[in-house]
Chains A and B, each alone.
Chain A
Amino acid sequence: MYQGIIVAGFGGQGVISMGIMLAYAGMVDNKHVTFFPAYGAEMRGGTANCSVIVSTDEVDSPVVGQPDSLLVMNEPSFAKFEPTIRPGGRLFINTSLVSSKSKRKDIQVIDVPANKVAEEIGTLKIANMVMAGALIKHTGAIARDAIIKSLGIVYSRAKPEMLKMNETAIKRGGEF
């Protein structure tokens, strides 16, 4: 199993935070992982993205050129990354904010109204975890228990009720 993942969206949508969470959870799940944030000029324009690799074998190149899974949190990220998805790969769209539709026939599209679901649970801040829930459900790259176990470690300063909401978000994301 090898999953090259790109997560992209606005700064503040928890894109980097989700990337670190996925990498940490992958490590807890005994996978080989790398995480690389776009830290350059592209980040300073208000958009953020990061690459995460989760693999059963050792990870050589930490660069994700053609993602197996792309998580798109906002409209500009769709235009930038949708064409790069590897044929046979998956596109997870936050349909609460992205209205573009993919015309590609060689990928699987998973619509996730992440903002809407997050607000139903109680806070917009966990839209990223709704997306993460959908990702792990469809790819099976990381066991859900490993992510839930990692929440309290990665977000060590979060209050228990916030961790609980993150957990709910991951579960709800798995319904899409």
Chain B
Amino acid sequence: MAEKTLMKGNEALAEGAVRAGCRFFAGYPITPQNEVPEYMSWRLPQEGGFFIQAESEVAAINMIFGAASTGIRVMTSSSSPGISLKQEGISYCAGADLPIFYANVVRGGPGLGNIAPAQSDYFQSTRGGGHGDYRVFVMAPNSATEMANFPKRCYDVAFKYRVPSMILADGLLGQMMEPVEFDFEPIDPGSIPAPDWALGVATGRNKRVVKSYDLRPGRLEDWNIERQKKFEMIEAEECDWDGEGLEDCELLVSSYGSCSRISKSAVKLARDSGLAVGLLRPITLYPFPKKIFRDMARKVKNILVVEMSLGQYVEDVQLSVEGAVPIHFHGRPGGGIPTAEEIFEIVKKIMRK
């Protein structure tokens, strides 16, 4: 296996995207994701790619729309308020069936909030985010290595189904340094054939159109129904999750992203003191791995959901288990980060009942 390098999560994310074939990045600075555009600004030219610091987030996402329509691998990144600004353009990309990739390194909200790590953009990410009937393929890494390796998976899904894809991270994952190991060889985008919908020089072929606009009666309804079939396929094919101690646990703890690391420490504390506790962590947030939650709900006595927001992720767990088992909740909003000891105390209280 390749040698490990010590990298910041944000740098790992940027390098991962470049290795996955990204050759166009447009963005606008915001903490805590600034290392992504900074890294891209010198790294992309090395590979013959393009970096643009746009005049605003809105400009950046529309540059992404334009570049993506030529069929190349593109990326933008931002943090919460900046991603909100980009939602109009993301919806346009979804409406035009463009395979874009972006990352949200979440900070405390709502509004301008603060720059501390948070998970409060869960609803926005997993429900589409902009206007209209669409979803975005959402991956939630929990380490610098996953920050490095997930961009490739996002591109794979985005191009397979022609949908937007994203990584939902946070300030903790972005700023943290860890040894990074890539699980794939760098991809030469020149070796990937251009998609049959991509815009370019049209000599010798029929006209191609990339747009999200159609006023003909009934046409948009048909488009949406066709697009919905893709999301049904994504839900059937692309779910991913990770678990620990699932065979014998009575209490199931569930968190995603950076918070799942903290919960994992808490689960270890609990198991070391003889408590039957397991951890279930979704890796894809959309599609949500409903089936494993449904299966676990039949086995365990309680579920504890821990997230760095006030009750967003927990709703998907509730929707999955459909009331089959009591769900307890612990949320820390506005940049608050739980500790393993704090979660362990809650675990003990639930187990004593």
B264 close to A63 (CB less than 8 A): no
At the interface, yes or no: A120 with Cβ under 8 Å from chain B? no
Least CB separation from B179: chain A residue: A27
Q: What's the tally of chain A residues with a CB closer than 8 Å to chain B? A: 20
A63 close to B175 (CB less than 8 A): no
At the interface, yes or no: B31 with Cβ under 8 Å from chain A? yes
At the interface, yes or no: A23 with Cβ under 8 Å from chain B? yes
Partner of B261, one of A23, A60, A65: A60
Partner of A34, one of B32, B177, B266, B268: B177
A20 close to B339 (CB less than 8 A): no
Q: Which residues of B contact A62 (CB under 8 A)?
A: 172, 176, 178, 258, 261
At the interface, yes or no: B53 with Cβ under 8 Å from chain A? no
A63 close to B31 (CB less than 8 A): no
At the interface, yes or no: B115 with Cβ under 8 Å from chain A? yes
Q: Which residues of B contact A1 (CB under 8 A)?
A: none
At the interface, yes or no: B131 with Cβ under 8 Å from chain A? no
Partner of A65, one of B6, B175, B341: B341
At the interface, yes or no: B114 with Cβ under 8 Å from chain A? yes
B4 close to A27 (CB less than 8 A): yes
Partner of B176, one of A24, A35, A40, A41: A35
Q: Which residues of B contact A33 (CB under 8 A)?
A: 6, 178-179
A65 close to B178 (CB less than 8 A): no
List B residues 322-353 near A (Cβ within 8 Å): 335, 337, 339-341
CB distance from A30 to the nearest CB of B (A): 10
A41 vs B107: C-alpha distance when bound (angstroms): 13
A63 close to B114 (CB less than 8 A): no
A39 close to B31 (CB less than 8 A): yes
A20 vs B6: C-alpha distance when bound (angstroms): 9
At the interface, yes or no: B292 with Cβ under 8 Å from chain A? no
Known interface pairs A24-B6, A27-B179, A63-B262. Does A36 touch B172 (Cβ–Cβ under 8 Å)? yes
Least CB separation from B260: chain A residue: A60
A109 vs B196: C-alpha distance when bound (angstroms): 68
CB distance from A146 to the nearest CB of B (A): 13
A130 vs B2: C-alpha distance when bound (angstroms): 34
Q: Which residues of A contact B264 (CB under 8 A)?
A: 60-61
A27 vs B175: C-alpha distance when bound (angstroms): 18
Q: Which residues of B contact A63 (CB under 8 A)?
A: 172, 262, 337, 339-340
- The 8 A CB mask of A57-83 against B (1 = contact, 0 = none) is 001111101100000000000000000
At the interface, yes or no: B171 with Cβ under 8 Å from chain A? yes
Q: Which residues of A contact B199 (CB under 8 A)?
A: none
A20 vs B5: C-alpha distance when bound (angstroms): 12
Q: Which residues of A contact B31 (CB under 8 A)?
A: 39
Known interface pairs A63-B339, A65-B341. Does A41 touch B114 (Cβ–Cβ under 8 Å)? yes
A34 close to B340 (CB less than 8 A): no
Q: Which residues of B contact A66 (CB under 8 A)?
A: 341
Q: Which residues of B contact A27 (CB under 8 A)?
A: 4, 6, 179
A27 vs B179: C-alpha distance when bound (angstroms): 7
Residues of A that sit less than 8 Å from B by CB: 20, 23-24, 27, 32-37, 39-41, 59-63, 65-66
A-B residue pairs in contact (CB < 8 Å), sample of 20: A23-B177, A24-B6, A27-B179, A34-B178, A36-B176, A37-B175, A39-B31, A39-B115, A40-B115, A40-B116, A41-B115, A60-B261, A60-B265, A61-B262, A61-B264, A61-B265, A62-B172, A62-B258, A62-B261, A63-B337
